[in-house]
């Protein structure tokens, strides 16, 4: 377990904003997890677990406790039958590396999660998803250290209480568990339609009638490259706002004024409306607010063009939220997690 003190958070967060953390620890084993939890308890300080830093923000005051970077490795096949293969993956593995390995083996279920930055262990926290797939679709269970009970536990997918970009890990049990591995059941054979419209458009344009997992991966990577800036070149956290989920009645009113509004009907009767579309219709696409640029190709993405502080980001965020609320009466919500301020 590597321990450092008074470390700038900026290099570890893809938005490249935030102050210093008092202590930073890298975790490579389950023993490291127990050790850092013991350290936090003995020092009576807060503990924040960080994955790839692609969906996390820190304030200018930094973090007064311990930031533990989850680097636990591992990839193994634990079960297999004629229809599926079940794998267990260390929480510190890079999610896209996991996708690449499974796709290369002809397995389907997470190929649409290609090119999403971050670690495997962070995927269940916000139930990462893209282009018609979510990690909840394939997750069987996960292992985690329960800081309340001070022991390792196995949680089923049902225990995680997954919903759109949400789980118990960023809800009522935030901070209780440190995920050490995830177990996924993936399908053998070809991915099954219907596919997300942008993916289907790619397949059609490339005359691919029966796509393999690799075809879907390539489609998603191409789409993402055209819509989402590389955080290594342009600091960002990917989608900064969750898509808006509104009642069917509210959507009917919206559609009266905007007949071509993009949307997706949910099973519970509500309707998902892309926040990027709302932001664009509010006239903000391509604008620069307090040093934060609303991406001109995908308005749900905020790029740190010249912001020097979290305060700049917060001001831009609130201005966007106010503008969308004023125009549509819809309140959009930030997607990235935030470390508690020091």
Q: Is pLDDT above 90 for 335? A: yes
Between CA 125 and CA 314 the distance in angstroms is: 23
Report the SS3 class of residue 19. coil
Angle subtended at Cα 200 by Cα 211 and Cα 301, rounded to the nearest 5 degrees: 120
Q: Which two tokens stand for residue 162?
A: 């997954």
Q: Would you call 187 helix, strand, or coil by DSSP?
A: strand
Residue 1: band (very low, low, confident or very high) from pLDDT cuts 50, 70, 90: confident
Three-state DSSP at 204 gives: helix
Q: What percent of the chain stands above pLDDT 70?
A: 100
Q: Is 165 a catalytic residue?
A: yes
When pLDDT is averaged across residues 157-183 and rounded to a whole number, the result is 96
Q: What number is the average pLDDT over the span 201-224?
A: 97
What is the predicted pLDDT for the residue at 342?
79
For residues 128 and 120, give the distance between their C-alpha atoms in angstroms, rounded to a whole number. 10
Q: How confident is the model at residue 188 (pLDDT cuts 50, 70, 90)?
A: very high
Dump the DSSP string for 247-316. Answer: -HHHHHHHHHH-TT---EE-TTS-EEE-HHHHHHHTT-TT-EETTEEEPSS-TTEEEESS--SHHHHHHH
- Whats the size of the chain, residue-wise? 342
Q: Is 210 a catalytic residue?
A: no
Q: What is the pLDDT of residue 341?
A: 87
Q: What is the dihedral of CA 200, 206, 209, 210, to 10 degrees?
A: -90
Q: Which of 161, 280, 335, 338 is catalytic?
A: 335
Interval 158-183 mean pLDDT: 96
Please give the domain boundaries of the chain with CATH numbers for all domains: 2-70 (3.30.43.10), 75-188 (3.30.465.10), 229-338 (3.90.78.10)
Residue 182 has phi, psi (to 5 degrees) of: -125, 150
Write phi, then psi, for 248 (nearest 5 degrees). -65, -35
Q: Which position among 239, 270, 285, 317 bears the catalytic label?
A: 239
Which tokens is 183 given? 């177990």
Rounded to two decimals, what is the model's pTM? 0.91
Do the beta carbons of residue 277 and residue 297 sit within 8 Å? no
Predicted pLDDT of residue 55: 93
For 44-86, how does the pLDDT look when each residue is reduced to its tens digit (9 = 90+)? 999 999 999 999 999 999 999 999 999 999 999 999 999 999 9
Could you give phi then psi for residue 6, rounded to 5 degrees? 50, 65
The whole-angstrom separation of Cα 111 and Cα 93 is 16
What does the DSSP 8-state code read for residue 197? H
In this prediction, residue 206 carries a pLDDT of 97
Predicted confidence at residue 267, as pLDDT, reads 87
Mean pLDDT of the chain: 96
255-303 confidence digits (pLDDT tens): 999 999 999 899 899 999 999 999 999 999 999 999 999 999 999 999 9
Choose among 139, 185, 145: nearest CA to 162: 139
- Quickly state the pLDDT bin for 238 (edges 50, 70, 90): very high
What is the average pLDDT across 82-91?
Answer: 98
335 catalytic per annotation: yes
Q: Which residues of 4-43 are buried (b: 16+ CB within 10 A; e: fewer)?
A: eeebebbebbbbbbbbbbbbbbbbbeeebbbbbbebbeee
CA dist 158 and 139 (Å) reads: 10
Residue 182 contacts residue 139 (beta carbons within 8 Å):
yes
| Interatomic CA distance for residues 194 and 332, integer angstroms | 28
Local structure of 101: helix, strand or coil: helix
Please say whether the beta carbons of 243 and 339 come within 8 A. no
Q: What is the pLDDT of residues 99-150, one digit of tens each?
A: 999 999 999 999 999 999 999 999 999 999 999 899 999 999 999 999 999 9
Q: What tens digit of pLDDT does each residue of 248-258 get?
A: 999 999 999 99
Distance CA 50, CA 28 (A): 13
pLDDT given for residue 241 in this prediction: 97
Q: Which of the residues 54, 114, 134, 165 is marked catalytic?
A: 165
């Amino acid at each position: 377990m590597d321990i450092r003190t008074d470390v700038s958070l900026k290099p570890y967060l893809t938005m490249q904003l935030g102050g210093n953390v008092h202590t930073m620890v890298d975790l490579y084993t389950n023993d490291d997890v127990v050790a850092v939890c013991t350290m936090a308890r003995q020092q009576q300080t807060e503990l924040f677990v960080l994955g790839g830093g692609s969906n996390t923000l820190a304030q200018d005051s930094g973090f007064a406790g311990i930031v533990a970077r989850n680097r636990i490795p591992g990839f193994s096949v634990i079960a297999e039958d004629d229809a599926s293969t079940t794998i267990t993956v260390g929480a510190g593995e890079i999610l896209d590396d996991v996708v690449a390995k499974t796709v290369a083996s002809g397995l389907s279920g997470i190929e649409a999660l290609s090119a999403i930055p971050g670690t495997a262990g962070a995927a269940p926290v916000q139930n990462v998803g893209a282009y018609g797939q979510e990690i909840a679709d394939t997750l069987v269970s996960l292992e985690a250290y329960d800081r309340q009970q001070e022991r390792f536990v196995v949680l089923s997918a049902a225990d995680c209480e997954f919903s759109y970009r949400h789980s118990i890990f960023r809800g009522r049990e935030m901070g209780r568990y440190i995920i050490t591995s995830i177990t996924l059941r993936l399908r053998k054979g070809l991915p099954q339609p219907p596919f997300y419209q942008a993916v289907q458009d790619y397949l059609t344009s490339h005359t691919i009638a029966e796509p393999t997992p690799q075809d879907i991966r390539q489609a998603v990577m191409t789409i993402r490259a055209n819509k989402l800036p590389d955080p290594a070149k342009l600091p960002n956290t990917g989608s900064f706002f969750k898509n808006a989920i509104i009642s069917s009645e509210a959507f009917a009113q919206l559609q009266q004024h905007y007949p071509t509004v993009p949307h997706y009907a949910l099973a519970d009767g509500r309707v998902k409306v892309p926040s990027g579309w709302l932001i664009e219709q509010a006239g903000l696409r391509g604008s620069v607010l307090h040093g934060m640029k609303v991406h001109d190709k995908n308005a749900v993405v905020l790029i740190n063009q010249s912001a020097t502080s979290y305060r700049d980001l917060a001001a831009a965020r609130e201005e966007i939220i106010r503008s969308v609320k004023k125009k549509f009466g819809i309140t959009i919500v930030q997607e990235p997690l935030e470390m508690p301020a020091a």
